[in-house]
């Protein structure tokens, strides 16, 4: 039984984020919904970390600015990468 409030949409593109420490990262988007995103990257985050979403690659290849913040909710290590869920604030 799915407990999520919002339907997830698969989205194989990238998003540029800034960490609380000021690092700029490019992460792969697994999926997104109105409530958050599933992401993959090589950086280990901790639950509670805040990310600022700065820009996203659209399906047609354009890069669009974003002004969103999200909180890392969970992390899972997979094959030397980390997948994690972020809830929008």
| Mean pLDDT calculated for residue range 36-63 | 93
Whole-number percent of the chain with pLDDT over 70 = 96
Residue with tokens 């399906």: 59
Q: List all residues 6 or more positions away from 3 whose beta carbon is below 8 Å from its beta carbon.
A: none
Q: pTM for this structure?
A: 0.86
DSSP 20: T
Mean pLDDT of the chain: 90
* Domain 9-88, CATH among 3.40.190.10, 3.40.30.10, 3.20.20.70, 2.40.10.220: 2.40.10.220
User: What's the pLDDT score for residue 16?
Assistant: 95
CB 15 within 8 A of CB 30: no
Does 1 have pLDDT greater than 70?
no
Q: What residues does each domain of the chain span? A: 9-88
CB 84 within 8 A of CB 39: yes
Side-chain-side CA neighbours of residue 30 (13 Å): 12
């Amino acid at each position: 039984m799915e407990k999520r409030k919002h339907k997830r949409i698969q989205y194989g593109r990238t998003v540029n984020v800034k960490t609380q420490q000021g690092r700029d990262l490019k992460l792969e988007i697994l999926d997104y919904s109105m409530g958050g995103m599933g992401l993959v990257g090589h950086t280990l985050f901790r639950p509670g970390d805040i990310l600022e979403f700065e820009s996203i690659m659209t399906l047609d290849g354009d890069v669009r600015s974003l002004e969103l913040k999200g909180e890392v909710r969970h992390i899972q290590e997979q094959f030397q990468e980390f997948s994690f869920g972020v809830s929008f604030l």
